């Protein structure tokens, strides 16, 4: 026997909500945050390596410039037995080394040491999509002049 619908009610069409595959469109809500998360992770990996490279480059340039500055020995002081870099020649040698790199830097010569600070900036690749256009790294190098062997050692 057939039952009749009460008067004034209409039957809703079957949307398939209770069946497998009937939840159309619900995956798109999950895809957007997942895609953003994957993009952020890729940005950290790719641009993280850019940051490490910038730090290493800054440190290398600073250390090598400090070495170049320390090798500019003050000849008059060396003849007197004190090994110090020449104030102007040590600074100039470090400046000359860094001129080729073209990065902002500072050079200070004091006593028997040369201190160099270099700042390197690299553009980002992935993080620029979210507004982080570059990474900046600073490296520091110090070189000290020391005297060599001062007494002769006789062979056995």
Which pTM does this prediction carry?
0.66
For 127-140, what is each residue's pLDDT tens digit? 888 888 999 999 99
The DSSP line for 7-30 is TT--PPPP--TTSTT--TTSTHHH
The overall average pLDDT reported for the chain is: 80
| pLDDT above 80: residue 146 | no
More confident residue, 66 or 128: 66
Q: Judging by beta carbons within 10 Å of its beta carbon (0-12, 13-18, 19+), is residue 39 exposed, middle or buried?
A: middle
State mean pLDDT over 96-107. 90
At 127 the pLDDT is: 82
Closest to 120 in 3D by CA, of 104, 131, 107, 132:
104
Give the model confidence (pLDDT) of 21-56 as tens digits.
555 666 677 888 888 888 888 888 888 898 999 999
The pLDDT, as a whole number, for residue 90 is 82
108 closest CA partner among 85, 137, 83? 85
């Amino acid at each position: 026997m057939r039952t009749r619908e009460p008067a004034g009610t209409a039957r809703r069409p079957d949307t398939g909500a209770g069946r497998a595959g009937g939840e159309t469109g619900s995956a798109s809500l999950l895809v957007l945050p997942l895609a953003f998360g994957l993009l952020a992770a890729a940005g950290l990996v790719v641009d993280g390596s850019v940051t490490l490279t910038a730090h290493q480059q800054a440190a290398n340039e600073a250390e090598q410039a400090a070495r170049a500055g320390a090798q500019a020995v003050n000849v008059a002081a060396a003849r007197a037995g004190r090994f110090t870099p020449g104030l102007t020649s040590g600074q100039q040698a470090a400046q000359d080394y860094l001129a080729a790199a073209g990065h902002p830097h500072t050079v200070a010569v004091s006593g028997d040491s040369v201190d160099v600070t270099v700042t390197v900036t690299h553009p980002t690749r992935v993080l620029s999509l979210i507004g982080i256009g570059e990474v900046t790294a600073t490296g520091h190098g110090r070189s000290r002049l020391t005297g060599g062997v001062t007494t002769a050692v006789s062979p056995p």
